[in-house]
Amino acid sequence: MSSDEQRTGRCMCGAVAYRAKVSGRFAACYCKMCQRWSAGTFMGVHTTEFEITQGEDALTVFDSSSWASRAFCSVCGSNIYYFAEKFGGKSVALGSFDDTTGLAVSVQYFIDGKPEGFSLAESTKTVTTAEIEAMLS
């Protein structure tokens, strides 16, 4: 598989569809905001390009903090992406891609916040809340 490969995806109801270039890796995040948004963890695929190809008017972009926004389908509620200017490209919801073959988890953020009794079998880089707070300060 080549890097920065083009992939397509959509929300559950199909109102919103997109095209994205992906690096092949995704991150799991256990911060409290991602838990509120996605139940336990948000799994986001790093993209270098992202374009809504259908249903721009059905996409709600919500400013979840002063430096990040989150986008979801207003009809079915599916999460589409997380975006923070300082971290580059949009982080697009793994499960929304039509084909996730070849996309592998590479990092877990806020590892100390993960739900009890839940662990990935894969070994990945992990980043703690304290390490992220140090990066942001």
Residues interacting with Zn ion, by CB under 5 A? 11, 13, 15, 29, 31, 34, 73, 75-76
Main-chain phi, psi angles of 88, to 5 degrees: 90, -135
Shortest Å distance, C-beta 72 to Zn ion: 8
Task: Please give, one letter per residue, the 3-state secondary structure of 17-71.
Answer: EEEEEEEEEEEEECCHHHHHHHCCCEEEEEEEEEEEEECHHHEEEEECCCCEEEE
Between 7 and 70, CB nearer to Zn ion: 70
User: Closest separation between CB of residue 29 and Zn ion, Å?
Assistant: 3
The least distance separating Zn ion from the CB of residue 1, rounded to whole angstroms, comes to 27
Residue 22 or residue 73: which is nearer to Zn ion going by CB?
73
Bridge partners, residue 93, by sequence: 44
Looking at the Cβ atoms of 74 and 100, the one nearer to Zn ion is 74
